[in-house]
C-alpha cells in the first residue's frame, strides 16, 4: 500500500492487548509531539523517509501516522491534511522499543 508516495506492506498487523494500549498512550500523549513550523528548514538526512506507518480508524475515516527514526519526525495524514511533527527524544525511543515487535514484517 502507498501512503503519500511511501510504500508499505499491504498486509496490516493489528496491535492487540497491552501492546495496543501502550501504542495508543504514546500516540495520544501530546507531550511527545510538537508541530513543526513551515519555516523550519529540512533536516540534513534528506527527504522524509518513514520507517513505520501506524493506522487507525476514527469513525469512517482511516488516519495514518508515519514515523521516521532518522530525522525524528512524524507525518499525520487526517481528513486529507498532512501535518509534520517533531517527536520528542524520549518518545522516539518508546516508539522504537514498542514497534520492534513488528520488525519481522519489514524487509531488513
Examine residue 72 and state whether it is found in any structural domain, yes or no. Answer: yes
Half-sphere exposure (CA, 13 Å, Cβ side) for 38? Answer: 2
Examine residue 6 and state whether it is found in any structural domain, yes or no. Answer: no
pLDDT band at 103 (very low <50, low <70, confident <90, very high): low
pLDDT for 16 equals 83
Kindly state the percentage of the chain with pLDDT values over 70.
94
pLDDT for 81 equals 92
Count of domains in the chain?
1
Instruction: Identify any residues that bridge with 89 across adjacent strands, giving them in sequence order.
Output: none
Examine residue 21 and state whether it is found in any structural domain, yes or no. Answer: yes
Half-sphere exposure (CA, 13 Å, Cβ side) for 90? Answer: 5
Domain that holds residue 74: 13-37+45-103
Residue-wise pLDDT for 29-68, tens only, equals 878 888 887 777 777 777 888 988 988 888 999 999 999 8
Examine residue 64 and state whether it is found in any structural domain, yes or no. Answer: yes
Examine residue 74 and state whether it is found in any structural domain, yes or no. Answer: yes
Instruction: Provide the 10 A C-beta neighbour count for residue 1.
Output: 12
Query: Does the structure show a pLDDT above 80 at 23?
Result: yes
Amino acid at each position: 500500500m502507498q501512503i503519500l508516495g511511501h510504500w508499505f506492506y499491504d498486509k496490516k498487523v493489528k496491535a492487540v492487548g497491552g501492546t495496543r494500549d501502550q501504542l495508543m498512550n504514546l500516540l495520544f500523549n501530546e507531550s511527545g509531539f510538537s508541530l513543526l513550523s513551515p519555516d523550519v528548514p529540512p533536516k540534513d538526512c534528506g527527504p522524509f523517509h518513514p520507517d513505520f506507518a501506524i493506522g487507525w480508524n476514527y469513525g469512517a475515516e482511516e488516519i495514518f501516522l508515519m514515523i521516521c527514526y532518522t530525522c525524528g519526525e512524524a507525518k499525520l495524514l487526517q481528513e486529507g491534511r498532512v501535518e509534520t511533527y517533531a517527536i520528542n527524544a524520549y518518545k522516539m525511543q518508546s516508539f522504537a522499543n514498542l514497534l520492534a515487535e513488528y520488525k519481522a514484517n519489514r524487509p531488513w
